[in-house]
Structure 1
Amino acid sequence: MHKKVKVKPNSRIQKIEEEADGSLTVHLKSPPIDGKANQELIKVLAEKFNVPKNSIIIKSGFNSRQKLIEINP
């Protein structure tokens, strides 16, 4: 399964919002430095979709706020 994800780092609270088009907006507490926000994103999505962290792959947008995520069950 592929998901478009918009990441908002340095947020006060950690939450996931589902948009009308099926994409996700993910608010993360981590800063976008040294991949910390990407690591937190993988952890949060793994918990939401109830899959192991190694099942989630950032396909594109590693250094961007707009990402394409692949989730393998």
Structure 2
Amino acid sequence: MQFTVRVKPGSRRGALVEASDDGLVVHVKERAVDGAANEGVVRALAAHFGVAPSRVTILRGHTARIKRIEVDDGTRTVA
């Protein structure tokens, strides 16, 4: 499944995924330096959806706060 998230780096709340009117908002403690926030987003979303971090991919927005994410939850079947 693919969706868009808004990232809030440097959050005091820690890793938190919440719903908003515009979709998901992901709060991470890591700052947006050297990809640390992206790694935090991947870990937070993996925990939220109950999948391994290797199944969460940032498709677009590596340097932006709004990112396009894909989560492979293992439900796809090959015909």
TM-score class normalised by the smaller sequence: over 0.9
Check if 1:27 corresponds to 2:33.
Answer: no
1:2-24 per-position Cα deviation (integer Å, ceiling 9, x unaligned)? 11100010110122111235x21
Q: Which runs of 5+ in 2 are unaligned?
A: 74-79
Question: Identity across aligned pairs (percent)?
Answer: 38
RMSD over aligned CA atoms reads 0.9
Q: TM-score, normalised by structure 1?
A: 0.93
For 1:54 and 1:46, locate their aligned partners in 2 and report how far apart those are by CA, in whole Å: 8
For 2:50 and 2:27, locate their aligned partners in 1 and report how far apart those are by CA, in whole Å: 18
Q: TM-score, normalised by structure 2?
A: 0.86
SS of residue paired to 1:62: coil
Number of equivalences: 72
Alignment of 1:38-53 (within 5 A): 38-53=38-53
4+ residue stretches of structure 1 with deviation over 3 A? none
The residue number in structure 2 matching 1:17 is 18
